[in-house]
Amino acid sequence: MKIVIKIGGSLIQLGEEIDLELISKYAEVIRRLKREGHKLVIVVGGGVIARKYIETMRKLKAPESVCDLLGIKIARLNAYILISAIRNDVYPKVPETLEEAISVFSMGKIVVMGGLQPGQSTNAVAALLAESIRADILVNATTVDGVYTAPPETPGAKKLDQVTTDQLMEIMQSSTEFKAGEYRLFDPLAILIVRRARLPVKIIDGRDPQNILKAIRGEKVGTTVIP
Ligand code: UTP
């Protein structure tokens, strides 16, 4: 299978610390999928560190797009950490354009990406890559166990086993703002790409990387997005 995995930046960071134990578990799951013959693109987010930089830039009255640029760079740095953890069969550089990522993917190496351009999140990067390589599945590993009707901490919020792109758009627009560091879970561009490319997407609890294997094997886990 051609698989795109998005790993939320906040997953691999415990506060300001980088969670090397979880990163190693991810690297092991990725190596295993590669050994099984799958073709892989991994996209890593910017997490808490990106948000710290974005907040600081915002205090300095930097434009949102410049704040985004820092988020993009931090996500790329996180991608380099994952590359070091995977070690073999992985392209040693983080591609900085979609074109570069596609051509590296075609050479059979595992591709690890960070951000691409302002105005979106790394979820949009994952959706664009999944569309470009005609991925069989896009697995979004995050810090919650799926999509909820409202932010999960809200009283009465319910977890959904399935969600349409229209529902997802509504939930995201009511709970997130369109600014750097805040394009949570699925930003509008990511949803539009999923819809137009009819991408099969699973949103799963990435605190246990084994859930990625479950999603790929078609087991019941997380939330399935119906494109
Ligand atoms: P993400 O918001 O995608 O990181 O990127 P994340 O940590 O994975 O988010 P969670 O864990 O899913 O919530 C960090 C920031 O970098 C900028 C945005 O400001 C984004 O919020 N960014 C990232 C871009 O502007 N363009 C990109 O292509 C990627």
Confidence of residue 21 (pLDDT cuts 50, 70, 90): very high
Look up the domain containing 210 and give its range: 2-226
Look up residue 198 and give its two tokens.
């009819």
Cα(147) to centroid(ligand 1), Å: 18
Mutation probe of ligand 1 site: the residue of 121, 175, 204 with most atoms within 8 A of C-beta? 121
User: Which residues in the chain belong to E strands, given as ranges?
Assistant: 2-7, 13-14, 17-18, 39-44, 111-113, 137-142, 147-148, 159-160, 162-164, 201-205, 223-226
Tell me, using a 6 A CB cutoff, whether residue 187 lines ligand 1. no
CATH number for the domain that contains residue 130: 3.40.1160.10
H-only helix segments in 87-156? 98-106, 122-132
Confidence of residue 162 (pLDDT cuts 50, 70, 90): very high
**Averaged over 102-127, what is the pLDDT?**
97
Its pTM stands at 0.95
Query: How do strand 39-44 and strand 111-113 relate by DSSP bridges?
Result: parallel
Tell me, using a 6 A CB cutoff, whether residue 13 lines ligand 1. no
Q: How many CA atoms lie within 13 A of 25 on its CB side?
A: 14
Q: Count of H helices and E strands in the chain? A: 8, 11
**Averaged over 152-170, what is the pLDDT?**
90
Q: What mean pLDDT value characterizes the chain?
A: 94
Number of domains in the chain: 1
User: Torsion angle of alpha carbons 91, 71, 190, 150, nearest 10°?
Assistant: 130
Q: Does the structure show a pLDDT above 90 at 32?
A: yes
Location of structure tokens 């699925």: 186
Question: CB within 8 A of 170, min separation 6: which ones?
Answer: none
Query: Closest Cα partner for 127 from 31, 33, 181, 193?
Result: 193
Confidence of residue 180 (pLDDT cuts 50, 70, 90): confident
3 SS3 class? strand
